Chains A and B, each alone.
Chain A
């Protein structure tokens, strides 16, 4: 299974190597490491995402236990087997048309979750812009989520901009 662990590390030398060690030692095959030094948390920690492949749950549990024992702050663990990620922009009166409702109506689709939302507010009376990341367990659900969002965007007069790859 493909696993994604998001952590926050202290901004001191050697931290990244320290967390990668138990992952590979317990049989995780690291696929990708995203070390976002430019996106520190308010407490000055550095968000790090590691995606790795591991063949059984027992090994994953040992990896997580080892990281926790080291005092690493884990913010999210997700199995990402075949997860499909879609990025969507929306422009319009996003807040005034109930952004909570927009997200909820996408989230109720099984296997679909809006995992990230960034908002840029317009000046008073002007339109705002939002970027949403939608994770879906497979292509079919990803398409369902996008077409649901398209319908909502139509109702709420939002301009929805999807990625070229999905066309």
Chain B
């Protein structure tokens, strides 16, 4: 299968490494031989319709910080849109940074790829929270496969569990701890009794929180995931602005202690139901499946037949997320019966 990779930052590179690591595995188990025919970043592109050498691609990206320096086949200034339109390929990975305002540039990349008849895999939340329905319809209309497992839960197969394994169920509600950064901060506050700012700084030093942690701590990232789950699992045409959001900035260690005394932990919980979408700090009974610590994510599906099903795991990190990307790739390969 010929792949185009749009975006070759931490995630793109981690995915490249897992393609190398899993080369034999994919061939033996699925008869799948992925070939990266193009990689694009903000500075340019590397294109070889016969297949780029992923090892060389990784080395180039790490040394020159752009794939455009790829020997002979790299070209500065060549844009993603040009590559999507001009390079013969089966599937496009859209892995550019998330932009929740208008979904760009990811949104245009995905649309262009679908119009060109290419399957699309993304972990980019931006296009999904802005135009989920539109993209879903376009994919169907163009007869291409569209997967976005990595956008929610990172390595935790949240969407796949609901859409595939629980396919015979009516999902009534989805509740989850969907942001590792805020869960880490709340966990540390509860263990150390340390103030929010101190723990946030610690999380930034450890690389768990970003330099600008606003999207995480204000609950926006969780709200994005709730929006995607509402669309993908509950079938609601929801947008990010439909989610009522409260962040964790005002949580104080004393409040966490009061909660602990009554047998509760304070967690940032996202809830998606057919009549309401919300994100906010909640009291979760100690021992409840959602009372996970550290950077863990956990999601509970409340269903008619299976009742409650909870899944837990590591929600973030490039290597973890490449598990979701690779899963999507295999899923499409299998769906196509190649």
B residues in contact with A162, CB < 8 Å: 282-283
Choose from B254, B261, B262, B282 the contact partner of A167 (Cβ within 8 Å).
B282
Stretch at the interface among A8-16, A46-54, A123-131: A123-131
C-alpha spacing A129/B259, complex, angstroms? 10
Give every chain B residue within 8 A of A163 (Cβ-Cβ): 264, 282-285
Interface residues of B in 256-313 (CB under 8 A from A): 257-259, 261-262, 264, 266-267, 269, 271, 278, 280-285, 288, 290
Task: With CB as the reference atom, state the residue of chain A lying closest to B195.
Answer: A126
* CB <8 Å contact, B250 and A91: yes
Interface pair B262/A131, CB less than 8 Å apart: yes
Q: How far does the Cβ of B264 sit from chain A's closest Cβ, in whole Å?
A: 7
Smallest distance from the beta carbon of B239 to chain A beta carbons, Å?
21
Q: Contact check, B257 vs A120: say whether CB atoms are below 8 A apart.
A: yes
B290 CB contacts on chain A under 8 angstroms: 164
- In whole Å, how far is B68's beta carbon from the nearest beta carbon of chain A? 48
Which residues from chain A contact B131 at a C-beta distance below 8 Å? none
A157 to chain B, nearest CB (A): 10
Cβ–Cβ < 8 Å partners of A118 in chain B: 258, 261
B112-143 contacts to A, CB under 8 A, are none
Q: A87-B264, A161-B266 are in contact. Are A129 and B280 (CB under 8 A)?
A: no
**B215 in the interface, Cβ–Cβ < 8 Å?**
no
> Measured between alpha carbons, how far is A38 from B133 in the docked complex, in Å?
56
> Using a CB-CB cutoff of 8 Å, which residues 116-148 of chain A contact chain B?
118, 120, 122, 126-131, 133
A159 at the interface (CB under 8 A from B): yes
Q: How far is the CA of A127 from the CA of B285 in the complex (A)?
A: 24
Question: Contacts A87-B264, A118-B261 known; A129 to B255 CB distance under 8 Å?
Answer: yes
Return chain B residues, CB-CB under 8 Å to A120: 252, 254-255, 257-258
Check: B20 CB closer than 8 A to any chain A CB.
no
Q: How far is the CA of A164 from the CA of B259 in the complex (A)?
A: 13
Chain B proximity of A114: nearest CB distance (Å): 14
Whether a CB of chain A sits under 8 angstroms from the CB of B251 is: yes
Given A164-B269, A167-B282, answer yes or no on A127-B250 (Cβ-Cβ < 8 Å): yes
Known: A91-B251, A91-B252, A127-B252. A164 touches B283 (CB 8 A): yes
| Alpha-carbon gap, A91 to B283, bound state (A) | 13
12 example contacts (A-B, Cβ-Cβ < 8 A) are as follows A87-B283, A89-B255, A120-B254, A120-B255, A127-B250, A131-B261, A133-B262, A161-B282, A162-B283, A164-B269, A164-B283, A167-B271
Given A91-B255, A131-B255, A161-B283; 16 other pairs, CB 8 A cutoff: A89-B255, A91-B252, A92-B250, A118-B261, A120-B254, A126-B252, A129-B255, A159-B246, A159-B250, A161-B280, A163-B285, A164-B175, A164-B282, A164-B284, A165-B285, A167-B269
Spell out A's residues near B (CB within 8 Å). 87, 89, 91-92, 118, 120, 122, 126-131, 133, 159, 161-165, 167
Chain B residues at the A interface, C-beta cutoff of 8 Å? 175, 246, 250-252, 254-255, 257-259, 261-262, 264, 266-267, 269, 271, 278, 280-285, 288, 290
